[in-house]
Amino acid sequence: MSDDPSIQVESADSPVWKQSTRLMVGTLLILLGIGLLYQLRQFLIPFILALLLAYILHPIVLRLQRSAGMRRGLAVALLYVVIVIVLLAATTGLGIAAANRVSAFGEYLSSISTDLPEFIRGLLALEFIIGPWTINLSEANLEPFVDGITSAVTPIISQTGNILAGVAGATATFVGTSVLVLVISFYLLLYLERFGWAIIGWVPGPYKSDASRIMADAGSIWQSFFRGQLIMGLAVGTMTAVIMSILGLRNSIGLGVLAGVLEFVPIFGPWITAIVAVLVALFQETNPWGLTPISYAIIVLAAGILIQQIENNFLYPRVIGQSLALNPLVVLLAVLAAGSLFGIVGLLLAAPVVATARLVLGYLYWKTVGVDPPKSTFVMRAGGKPSMYRQLAERIRNLRKPAEKADA
């Protein structure tokens, strides 16, 4: 250090910035962040999917660490070896057969969307005899009705078919995106806990407990959503495939896959599945029951309604419960807005994003009005029953307790 007294350091403390300086620098950093995200927008979807995959797999890694005493790196590596084996198995044997069935179903839906207008006009030309009355729809001017129905249904059926055919076909783009998602999610999962602590470390001291609580509550929201939706998707997809196979509906496996995937789309998903099932029944020339296409479609529609009733009244309250505690109208508006802005990803993630936004906005509201926020801003409805998953986990823990005492 120089002996010149004019440049000697008087204090090791860094001077505090003025409020205007902090505001200017903070605004500049936000603008730079938005610009960077815009430039890298093509990588946002793979990164979001990788982050969600890492978050879904995080509880499994924790279970391996605690039960088997593994280090985190070994647990993550073992889990991804299993995932790669499953993916390789899905590309051979039964996996290829199932993918071909789903792909054929997607192409079939695309062809239905093309023939749908003429098919509806043919139905309207028929005469229906109900007792002493004869109904001839061709005498009514239903052309605007036909145009409205076809313009609303055709894009849905066509897009659904294209999605199924594209995913099942495993195009080069799909494979490349999948590999990128797996690689990114591997490193995110490996250092996920460190990322969480790093985020809390950036928060000023007095707010660290608030940040930790909000992150824990947000974690509960997303874990409940994904765990519940995965179970619901498997249950509804399997139930749809089995029931439609019993009824003799063609492409029942593809329809079951579609029902499982659309289970992630609140409100609209089950209805899209029902519409697709009815259209497949109408276009199916023969059926095991010897019914007319319209009668057969009515039976298929009744089966779809039965599946929805089992889902809404039995599965949903027990599997998901009140994990998000969102009003159905809020979910509906969120799905419409997110779907129009962000496409398929917006449809799938609208509900948990809104629940997380409500969590953060609730905290900001309490701080704005000068009142301490509650200990947990993520509150389940009072008196709500725990989900079936939580009941099963509690029973397993209770069964382990006597064995642990005996070993001790």
Q: What is the dihedral of CA 177, 180, 182, 183, to 10 degrees?
A: 180
What pLDDT does 379 receive?
44
What pLDDT does 172 receive?
47
Contact 322, 355 (CB under 8 A): no
With respect to residue 95, please indicate whether it lies within any of the assigned structural domains.
no
> Can you give the pTM of this predicted structure?
0.67
- What gap in Å lies between CA 230 and CA 188, rounded to an integer? 21
The string over 342-377, giving b where at least 16 C-beta atoms fall within 10 Å of a residue's C-beta and e elsewhere, is: beebbbbbbbbbbbbebbeebbeeeeeeeeeeeeeb
Any residues with CB less than 8 A from the CB of 120 and at least 6 apart, and which? 146, 149, 150
Tokens of 157: 């059926």
Alpha helices per DSSP H over 19-142: 19-39, 44-68, 72-90, 94-124
With respect to residue 387, please indicate whether it lies within any of the assigned structural domains.
yes
What's the structural domain count of the chain?
Answer: 1
Q: Per-residue confidence of the chain (408 residues) as pLDDT tens digits?
A: 455 555 555 555 777 888 888 889 889 999 998 888 888 877 887 888 888 888 888 888 888 888 888 888 898 999 999 888 887 776 665 555 666 666 677 777 777 777 777 777 676 666 666 666 766 666 666 666 666 666 666 666 666 666 666 555 544 456 667 788 888 989 988 888 788 788 888 888 788 888 888 888 888 888 778 878 888 888 999 999 999 999 999 888 888 888 888 888 777 788 888 888 888 888 888 888 888 888 898 999 999 999 988 887 887 777 766 567 777 778 788 888 887 777 777 777 888 888 888 888 888 888 888 777 776 544 444 344 454 445 555 555 565 555 555 555
Contact 161, 108 (CB under 8 A): yes
What pLDDT does 60 receive?
86
- What gap in Å lies between CA 239 and CA 67, rounded to an integer? 33
With respect to residue 286, please indicate whether it lies within any of the assigned structural domains.
yes
With respect to residue 305, please indicate whether it lies within any of the assigned structural domains.
yes
What pLDDT does 293 receive?
83
List 127's β-bridge partners, or say none: 136
Give a three-class secondary structure readout of 294-351: HHHHHHHHHHHHHHHHHHHHHHHHHHCCCCCCCCHHHHHHHHHHHHHHHHHHHHHHHH
With respect to residue 377, please indicate whether it lies within any of the assigned structural domains.
yes
Tokens of 36: 């960077």
DSSP per-residue letters across 182-238: HHHHHHHHHTHHHHHHHHHHHS-GGGHHHHHHHHHHHHHHHHHHHHHHHHHHHHHHH
Q: What is the dihedral of CA 70, 71, 77, 79, to 10 degrees?
A: 40
Local structure of 135: helix, strand or coil: strand
Residue 267 CA to its chain's centroid (Å): 13
With respect to residue 352, please indicate whether it lies within any of the assigned structural domains.
yes
Q: Which domain holds residue 375?
A: 209-401
Residue in the structure block whose two tokens are 């051979």: 92
What pLDDT does 383 receive?
42
- What gap in Å lies between CA 205 and CA 210, rounded to an integer? 10
With respect to residue 141, please indicate whether it lies within any of the assigned structural domains.
no
With respect to residue 251, please indicate whether it lies within any of the assigned structural domains.
yes
Ramachandran region, residue 70 (left: φ > 0; alpha: ψ -120 to 50; beta: rest): beta
